Structure 1
Amino acid sequence: MSLQEVITQNSVSLSATAGNTRAEGSAVLHRTLRERPKTVIGSSGNYLHLENGQNIFDATGGAAVSCLGHGNERVKQAMMAQLDANAYCYSLFFSSPAGEKLAKLLVDSTGGVMTKALIVSSGSEAVEAALKLSRQYFMELAPPQPQRVRFIARKPSYHGTTLGALSVGGHVTRRALFEPMLSSNFSHVSPFNPYRGLRDGEDMGAYIARLAQELDDEFQRVGPDTVCAFFAEPVVGAALGCVAAAPGYFQAMKAVCERYGALMVMDEVMSGMGRTGTLHAWEQEGVSPDIQTFGKALGAGYVPIAGLLVSKKVVDVLDKGTGSFAHGQTYQGHPVACAAAFEVQTIMKEQNLLENVREMGQYLGDLLKQKIDSHPNVGEVRGRGLFWGIEFVKDKTSKEPFDTSLGVAQAIHNKGLQPGHDISVLPAMGSVDGVRGDHVIISPAYNITKADVETIADRVQRVIEDYFASLSV
């Protein structure tokens, strides 16, 4: 893969903002130097207001972030109150009421499964912390296990942009440019993806057993006593487009981890904090992780915030050892971020939004399937809660993907932003093998109504039909 191909597929797209002004006059290092993104000058509810007068229905909350929509007055007031009290304190020396309240809310929400929370500023930071904590756990065991330096994750997963997060991720094109810099202590097994992975005549039980055996074989290949943890998303987001695991899958994976004494880390940065219908996605899987990362919907986009929850098992080992976590960041537990996130989570509970996620999510999935499932270029509509993916194919029978040069998912996103369509969907590539495969994600706010769902489904249908009508396939 050439450098240009890597950059083109890693970026949103060099044509992502087709029709916008050139970027030469901007001092911002945008994701592409070729075009300046459309400029948002205001927002309210489900809509982004652009400087050209358009009102775009934000059907993805950015990247599954804006779970309360835009302009929530309660969250803004909570942030202002915290700014008035104290904008910042260094977590090495001080704590804050906002940080303590948020951590307690998060820990209590797990029913005692998790006993500590660490608050950082991005999903990538949370993944980095989870990697380091997994390693430290084995160094603090009695006796310690210093040989545990490896991690196993899945293809073509995406866990973040920092070098550690890219190493644990299995997304080919996002890794490619930096491959020589990534750690060799990470390896990858097949994802749970029945649309692509289920063999003819194979039932779900046999498929899960095969994937569990593959994970077991990988432990054996690298040395079962060298693995710190297995990393996985309960519902795969950007890399596969909202693929949820079948019942029994994570139970089988955790059984393999426990057989060899390794931890299980569930990355819920995209799928957690209510996105799939329960506050924590693992609540639907019949098992709990040893470490959990979370992000995006935690603060609903009002602040940069993410974090991890740590099980009693892991905390107890550290408590009996050094009594500390060998990690820290300047903006860790930022008071304003914690105050905003606490208010977001309080609103979600008071307004019973998890129930709305389940109800409106079912309605959204049903409508999308009704309207576009039969389209010759729609391979699969899949998802859970308010987290839905649409995979596109050149041939519905063979499931052959489009040539990557077409940039189908990105082109559908671009068409959605055109006047007359006025909807934003989240495009991605690589759902087949980390390179090929186009899909878009629909992940709207948790407080949407039936009318909003119908608006989304209608506009998505028109965008898809109009795009493929103009494409010679």
Structure 2
Amino acid sequence: MSHVFPRQPLSPPVTAVAAEGCYLIDEAGKRYLDGSGGAAVSCLGHADPEIIEAIQKQAAQLAFAHTGFFTSQPAEELAELLIRHAPAPLDRVYFVSGGSEAVEAAIKLARQYHLERGAPERTHLIARRQSYHGNTLGALAAGGNAWRRAPFEPLLTEVHHIAPCYAYAEGGEHETPEVYGVRAAQELEEEILRLGPDKVMAFIAEPVVGATLGAVPAVEGYFRRVREICSRYGVLLILDEVMCGMGRTGHLFACDADGVAPDILCIAKGLGAGYQPIGAMLCSDHIYRTVRDGSGFFQHGHTYVGHPVACAAGLAVLRALLDRDLIARVQAKGEALTHALENRFGQHPHIGDIRGRGLFLGLEFVADRSTKAPFDPELNIAGRLKKAAFNAGLICYPMQGTRDGRRGDHVLLAPPFVIEDTQIVELVEKLETALADVLPVS
């Protein structure tokens, strides 16, 4: 009898015993193609010898040194390499253990920055509906997914939510993507003015929305307009790249595709590639100096901030992404997977949209393609698809509530960057098998 508290107590998980490349293996020897990298985590695949060696060496040399007293060489080298490739004006890196912690740090830094510069009235945070920023209370409050928020609503701080940039469901029938993008971004300015232009501290958004929308990128020009609005009103722009960053979209930093630079940026998942728990918050030199030259103390912290073994793993992962030219590979394999999905499912009567960037792709399921009407939530399309795909030997990331937190279903695909063409074929075939079981077509 297990004493582990599983995510779903009524559906105990299968025991994984090994992994290699794009596959995980259970105790019965069954192999599963990791079509979502777990949760867009395993960008290098499993059992990469270089990453394992880096972890082993660091653990033998220095496993832990509390950052209240020490820094470490892996942390210094990883921060330097990140900033060398990050969009300006990002200049400082604060290491944490995962995405939720990175977002918590970003929100708290935004608040403290305004305090340090003598603007304590800036207390409001704006985010977007159908966003996901993590499961700790601050990050959950920032998230705009109604289903995830509902049980904990009484505990959440007030965050103001505007519409996402979700052209498939919210764009006008005769509206160009550019016009829609301006209209969607304009909601941010309207909300800032409603709250008071001197009362808003930050706006947080995912460049490509992952878990709760299914790989939805913003339309061309949306984030440039958002950047202009934030700069005009002195509002910090926080970009959450926990899921879509670190090469996943075909750019090391997802915001590069949109031609914008944030004031604060959050990364995790692909930074550790599943080999160690690690995340990071990057901020501009101006924000850092405001704190340094003010109180001189960022009033925040966790025990495992800057953990040497985690940083050694992150450094090895980042070097692998750069030295093996994996960003270009993501672009090529992402194009191949997109074409394979479009060829197989482009005319499927219950697939309304195939979208995403790089190896970060989503398929949205609809009851009616012509009206884009979602399925009745009681049908549990996403849950059934996850089970059917797992039975077929495919790990993918289906989610319910795509439209509003309750209605709508999608599946997220985010395979390792090392995926081969034969495995792309395997992924599409196994997904088709699962879809035939859940959404049979006569």
Say if 2:93 is the partner of 1:120: no
Say if 2:377 is the partner of 1:434: no
Residue 234 of structure 2 corresponds to which residue in structure 1?
261
Which structure 2 residue ranges, 5 or more long, are not aligned?
A: none
Q: Percent identity?
A: 43
* RMSD, aligned CA: 1.3
User: Could you tell me which amino acid in structure 2 is paired with residue 108 of structure 1?
Assistant: R
Query: What is the aligned counterpart of 1:44 among 16, 20, 32?
Result: 20
Residue 73 of structure 1 corresponds to which residue in structure 2?
49
Question: What secondary structure does 1:417 align onto?
Answer: helix
Residues 32-91 of structure 1, C-alpha deviation per residue, up to 9 Å, x if partnerless?
A: 221211111111111111112211101111000001111111111111100110110100
Residue 69 of structure 2 corresponds to which residue in structure 1?
93
Question: What secondary structure does 1:310 align onto?
Answer: strand
User: Is the 1:265–1:291 contact (alpha carbons within 8 Å) kept by the matching residues of 2?
Assistant: yes
Say if 2:6 is the partner of 1:33: no
What is the Cα deviation at residue 93 of structure 1? 0.5
Partners of 2:367 and 2:28 lie apart in 1 by 34
Residues 117-159 of structure 1, C-alpha deviation per residue, up to 9 Å, x if partnerless?
A: 0110010000000000001111111xx1000111000011110
User: Is the 1:156–1:434 contact (alpha carbons within 8 Å) kept by the matching residues of 2?
Assistant: yes
What is the Cα deviation at residue 183 of structure 1? 0.7
Residue 203 of structure 2 corresponds to which residue in structure 1?
230
Residues 415-464 of structure 1, C-alpha deviation per residue, up to 9 Å, x if partnerless?
A: 0111xx21111111221112111111110111112222222122222221
User: Could you tell me which amino acid in structure 1 is paired with residue 121 of structure 2?
Assistant: Q
User: Is the 1:26–1:36 contact (alpha carbons within 8 Å) kept by the matching residues of 2?
Assistant: no
User: Is the 1:269–1:296 contact (alpha carbons within 8 Å) kept by the matching residues of 2?
Assistant: yes
Partners of 2:38 and 2:376 lie apart in 1 by 26
Partners of 2:26 and 2:185 lie apart in 1 by 48
Question: What secondary structure does 1:224 align onto?
Answer: coil
Query: What is the aligned counterpart of 2:436 among 465, 469, 473?
Result: 465
User: Could you tell me which amino acid in structure 1 is paired with residue 153 of structure 2?
Assistant: E
Residue 396 of structure 2 corresponds to which residue in structure 1?
425
Partners of 2:109 and 2:179 lie apart in 1 by 34
Question: What secondary structure does 1:238 align onto?
Answer: coil
Query: What is the aligned counterpart of 1:383 among 351, 356, 363?
Result: 356
Partners of 1:375 and 1:212 lie apart in 2 by 32
Residues 266-305 of structure 1, C-alpha deviation per residue, up to 9 Å, x if partnerless?
A: 0000000100011100111111000000000001000111
User: Is the 2:98–2:278 contact (alpha carbons within 8 Å) kept by the matching residues of 1?
Assistant: yes
User: Could you tell me which amino acid in structure 1 is paired with residue 425 of structure 2?
Assistant: E
User: Could you tell me which amino acid in structure 1 is paired with residue 44 of structure 2?
Assistant: L
Say if 2:122 is the partner of 1:148: yes
Correspondences of 1:167-206 after superposition (within 5 Å): 167-184=141-158, 186-206=159-179
Partners of 2:222 and 2:431 lie apart in 1 by 31
User: Is the 2:22–2:418 contact (alpha carbons within 8 Å) kept by the matching residues of 1?
Assistant: no
What is the Cα deviation at residue 320 of structure 1? 2.7
Question: What secondary structure does 1:230 align onto?
Answer: strand
User: Could you tell me which amino acid in structure 2 is paired with residue 463 of structure 1?
Assistant: A
Residues 312-369 of structure 1, C-alpha deviation per residue, up to 9 Å, x if partnerless?
A: 2312322332233221110000000000111111111111100000000011111101
Say if 2:40 is the partner of 1:64: yes
Residues 178-237 of structure 1, C-alpha deviation per residue, up to 9 Å, x if partnerless?
A: 0011112x1100000010011121112221221122111111221221111000000000
Partners of 1:426 and 1:463 lie apart in 2 by 13
What is the Cα deviation at residue 115 of structure 1? 0.8
What is the Cα deviation at residue 112 of structure 1? 4.5
Query: What is the aligned counterpart of 1:163 among 137, 141, 151?
Result: 137
Q: Give the length in aligned residue pairs.
A: 442
Call closer, same or farther: CA 1:338–1:376 in 2, change over 3 Å: same
Partners of 2:381 and 2:88 lie apart in 1 by 45
Which structure 1 residue ranges, 5 or more long, are not aligned?
A: 1-24
User: Is the 2:131–2:209 contact (alpha carbons within 8 Å) kept by the matching residues of 1?
Assistant: yes
Say if 2:193 is the partner of 1:220: yes
TM-score w.r.t. length of structure 1: 0.91
User: Is the 1:295–1:305 contact (alpha carbons within 8 Å) kept by the matching residues of 2?
Assistant: yes
Residue 17 of structure 1 corresponds to which residue in structure 2?
none
What is the Cα deviation at residue 111 of structure 1? 5.5
Partners of 1:112 and 1:193 lie apart in 2 by 27
Partners of 2:61 and 2:305 lie apart in 1 by 18
Partners of 1:365 and 1:357 lie apart in 2 by 12
What is the Cα deviation at residue 26 of structure 1? 1.6
Residue 251 of structure 1 corresponds to which residue in structure 2?
224
Partners of 1:434 and 1:449 lie apart in 2 by 34
Partners of 1:111 and 1:215 lie apart in 2 by 23
Question: What secondary structure does 1:396 align onto?
Answer: coil
Query: What is the aligned counterpart of 2:246 among 273, 287, 292?
Result: 273
Partners of 1:116 and 1:336 lie apart in 2 by 20
What is the Cα deviation at residue 395 of structure 1? 1.1
What is the Cα deviation at residue 263 of structure 1? 0.5
Question: What secondary structure does 1:380 align onto?
Answer: strand
